[in-house]
């Protein structure tokens, strides 16, 4: 059997996804081009040997339209002969890109492929691409006559169902910042973050190398004073069980970012003299209730554990995307997961969630955690719009 291996993975430090954020002055094509170029430079591969580039991006509109993965590789200086495609599985888009890449290698369709992702939420805000009933069509309106809801409402419903109170959500969120700040102080992100030269809000040319969304001073007490973000009288009437605990403090911030992973067959890595860092062990994708929307990591994890023959106790680190604090907490409750293994370097509440980039960002953080601790297996899963989730298990080599 052909094995797909991860040779290297890089990312940009996060930028606040609003005007004035560290990466907001840089076109998203250039964000993605930079990580593609850096990945090739770090590994020394000939980009002409890359069979395909598969990128994730959610808001494929404006500057992110027209197959941004192809545009970015051309900007990065790759030969014209290298093709690319851009996929949208919502927040899991670049995790899905990694799945497609690794599965293509296993199937024999690829020898070398890059999975990547990008999102500039400062320049292409959420809602730029069509959303809601106008994008869904009459069948969805008929099936869900009361309408689907935004992700903040879904997070409220999860918090209510799993009985997660405000103190628990805020404590988890503060811990995310504390873990991320501690990891940064110890240099634990140095292997995955690559510097990029940008123009800041003052018009100065600077090097961006530190996650802008991490707040080391965050405390649960400080977060407790924030007001709920998603309460409306209409939603309160429709969902009387909701306790309205979701705030900016226990949600992932709007973020700009890009990331990329080099994936190839074990045989090709050996031929090129490259040392693989991890092997792709198992894959799963699942759907769940689109109103609860963010619960699909639970069935996706059940599915991948069954496929892999592993138990949750066999996994040495879990990266469960922190779109909102209730998501990883409900997931951990369902599996009896060890809290120390859950997002041990902090999660998206601190590090940011640059939508299309987050999948390969989590992959890099996960493999670096396994290498630092000597762990063997890592599990990555993330909730996705309309009630989906990807799950991936990697094995450190």
Residue 145 is inside which H or E element, if any? none
| Residue 294 DSSP class | T
Domain boundary assignment for the chain:
281-396
Residue 383 is inside which H or E element, if any? strand 377-384
Helix (H, G, I), strand (E, B) or coil at 67: coil
SS (H, E, C) 27-88: CHHHHHHHHHHHHHHHHCCCHHHCCEEEEECCCCCHHHCCCHHHHHHHHCCCCCCCCEEEEC
Q: What is the DSSP string of 297-329?
A: HHHHHHHHHHHHT--GGG-SEEEE--SBTHHHH
pLDDT in tens, 221-266: 999 999 999 999 999 999 999 999 999 999 999 999 999 999 999 9
Distances (CA, A) of 190 to 11, 193, 368: 10, 6, 10
Burial 294-321 (b: 16+ CB within 10 A, else e): bbbbbbbbbbbbeebebebeebbbbbbb
Instruction: State the pTM of this model.
Output: 0.97
Pick the CATH number of 281-396 from 1.10.3720.10, 3.40.47.10, 3.30.70.20, 3.40.50.2000: 3.40.47.10
Helix (H, G, I), strand (E, B) or coil at 12: coil
Residue 196 is inside which H or E element, if any? strand 196-199
Active site positions, annotated: 91, 353, 383
Which pLDDT band holds residue 133 (cuts at 50, 70, 90)? very low
pLDDT in tens, 180-216: 999 999 999 999 999 999 998 888 999 999 999 999 9
């Amino acid at each position: 059997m052909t094995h797909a291996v991860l040779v290297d993975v890089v990312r940009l430090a996060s930028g606040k996804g609003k005007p004035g954020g560290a990466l907001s002055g840089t076109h998203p094509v250039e964000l993605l081009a930079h990580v593609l170029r850096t990945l090739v430079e770090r590994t020394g591969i000939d980009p002409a040997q890359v069979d395909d580039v598969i990128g994730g991006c959610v808001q494929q509109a404006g500057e992110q339209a027209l197959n941004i993965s192809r545009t970015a590789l051309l900007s990065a200086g790759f030969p014209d002969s290298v093709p690319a495609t851009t996929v949208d599985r919502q927040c899991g888009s670049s995790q899905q890109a990694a799945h497609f890449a690794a599965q293509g290698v296993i199937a024999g369709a690829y020898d070398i492929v890059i999975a990547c992702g990008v999102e500039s939420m400062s320049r292409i805000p959420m809602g730029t691409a069509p959303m809601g009933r106008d994008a869904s069509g009459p069948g969805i309106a008929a099936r869900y006559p009361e309408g689907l809801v935004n992700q903040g409402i879904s997070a409220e419903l999860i918090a209510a169902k799993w009985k997660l109170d405000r103190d628990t959500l805020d404590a988890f969120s503060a811990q995310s910042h504390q873990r991320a700040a501690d990891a940064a102080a110890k240099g634990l992100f140095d292997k995955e973050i690559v510097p990029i030269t940008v123009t800041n809000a003052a018009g100065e040319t600077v090097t961006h190398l530190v996650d802008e969304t991490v707040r080391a001073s965050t405390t649960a007490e400080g977060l407790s004073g924030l007001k709920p973000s998603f309460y409306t009288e209409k939603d309160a009437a429709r969902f009387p069980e909701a306790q309205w605990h979701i705030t900016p403090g226990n949600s992932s911030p709007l973020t700009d970012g890009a990331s990329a992973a080099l994936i190839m067959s074990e045989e090709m890595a050996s031929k090129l003299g490259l040392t693989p860092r991890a092997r792709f062990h198992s894959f799963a994708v699942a759907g769940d209730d689109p109103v609860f929307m963010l619960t699909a990591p639970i069935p996706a994890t059940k599915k991948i554990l069954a496929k892999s023959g592993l138990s949750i106790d066999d996994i040495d680190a879990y990266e469960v995307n922190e779109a909102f604090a209730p998501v990883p907490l409900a997931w951990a409750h369902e599996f009896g997961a060890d809290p120390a293994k859950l997002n041990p370097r902090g999660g998206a509440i601190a590090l940011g969630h640059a939508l299309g980039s987050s999948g390969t960002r989590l992959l890099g953080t996960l493999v670096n955690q396994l290498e630092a601790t000597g762990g063997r297996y890592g599990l990555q899963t993330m909730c996705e719009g309309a009630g989906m989730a990807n799950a991936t298990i990697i094995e450190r080599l």
